[in-house]
Structures are given as C-alpha cells and as structure tokens.
Amino acid sequence: MPTEAILREEATRLITVREGEGREEISTTRGVIRALAHTALKGGPLAQRNYIQMVTALDREEARLRQERFKFWQSYVQKARDRMQDAATRGQGLPTYLPHPDDIVFDYTHLTVRFTGPCDPDDAAQVEQQRRLSHLCLELSLYHEEDHCRGEGSLDKARIGFWLLSHIALEVGLPKRLRMSKEDYRAIERRQSVHRNWLFHLERECEELGLPFERRRKNWPVVELSELGIKFS
C-alpha cells in the first residue's frame, strides 16, 4: 500500500482516549493535535512552537480563502451590474442572475458575504410564490373592505386584519428589490376599477397559489399561516 494511503488511513482511524472520568472515540489526527495542545499547555517549548505555527498557518489559509471569496463576489456583482446596464442601454431584456447582485451584501470589516435573496432556481420559484402571496393577501384585505363600502357585505375587521397581517409578514421576508413598488400599487388600483374583473383575478390567484376559496363568494375562508408559508421561530 502506498505511504500516502497508509497515512490517510491512519489519520482517520478511531482511537479511544480518556477525557476526565470518561472515554471517547476520536480520530488519530484529532488525538495527535489534542496531545500536542496538552503538551504545549504543560510548558513544552517545542510543542508550543509547533502548535502556534500550525494554528497560525490555518488562520492564514482561512484569511486567504475568505479574501478570495470576497473578491470573487465583488467581481461577480460588478460584472453583473455592467451587463445589466449594457442591456438596459440597448433596450434589451435584463439578464437573469442567481444570486441577483442586489441580494449580495458585503461586510468590509470582516470580509464576509451574505445573501438576502434566492441563489438557485428552486429558491427563486419559492420567493416568487411568496411575492405573489404577499400581493394577494393585500388585495384580499382591500377587496373585503371595498365590499363593505359598496354595501355588499359586513365589515369583518378580523378577516381584513388577518389578510393584512399576512401581507406584512410575507412582504418583510422578501428581498428589498422584490417588495411592493409604486407600479405594483398602481396595478392593484387598475384592477379595483373594474370590480367584477378584480373578483375573477382574485379567484384565479387563489387557485394558482393553492389557497382555499369558493367561486363567486366574496368571503374567502381564513387559512392557517403555515398555508401561506409564514413561520415564526
């Protein structure tokens, strides 16, 4: 067996060590490092030097990888924004990026990167459904309120409050770039202007998003928050 294979096999071999009054199984590599640390703590100068060198090397490698990752995503964001700007200038459709450059947050103090939006197609589909649900909840609250103003139904404050609260909870969970815009509100106003068409729109949205409803009924049943994808930890 090649020496490298033997070393790898031995490095992962489990050994039993005594820790206080108990025993535990750890890998040979962990056992050697633990023994080195114990010797260093007891004052062994060679062990102390080796241990410090080992930890310092690990810290340097971690810092190098963190910096590489940071620079990679900085470059990604810059290139994505340049291409999107170029497409907008040419009057072309904007290219799709996952993650979207606006959903990438940089911490320049610790050189870390955080993502506030979807990073793959499955995530993007879930976020899009959440966005549609948020809009629908707001429209349902407005629809119930308008029905009362038109004299076609009683004012159910609990129902209106439920849909409005659901809208807020869903909305704050979205990336900032996908939260409701002025154009979204204008679209709702346009649908409100034709009451019957608005009802058809709400029925279709409920059906497509899997929310319970009774066709031609103006009072949609209140659903569980979990059905809207809202969870509280």
Q: What is the pLDDT of residue 221?
A: 54
Peptide bond connecting 2 to the previous residue in cis, omega within 30 degrees of 0: no
Q: From 166, 181, 176, 177, select the one nearest 136 (Cα to Cα).
A: 166
Residue 46 included in any domain: no
Q: What is the pLDDT of residue 72?
A: 97
Residue 112 included in any domain: no
Q: What is the pLDDT of residue 136?
A: 92
Residue 222 included in any domain: yes
Residue 69 included in any domain: no
Length of the chain: 233
Q: What is the pLDDT of residue 35?
A: 84
Q: Which residue ranges of the chain lie beneath pLDDT 50?
A: 232-233
Tally of domains within the chain: 1
Residue 199 included in any domain: yes
Using an 8 Å Cβ cutoff, are 28 and 11 in contact? yes
Q: From 219, 215, 99, select the one nearest 154 (Cα to Cα).
A: 219
Residue 45 included in any domain: no
218 is in which domain, residue-wise? Answer: 121-228
Residue 170 included in any domain: yes
Q: What is the pLDDT of residue 228?
A: 55
Q: What is the DSSP letter of 92?
A: P
Alpha helix segments (H runs only) across 45-181:
45-89, 121-149, 157-172
Distance CA 121, CA 105 (A): 20
Residue 135 included in any domain: yes
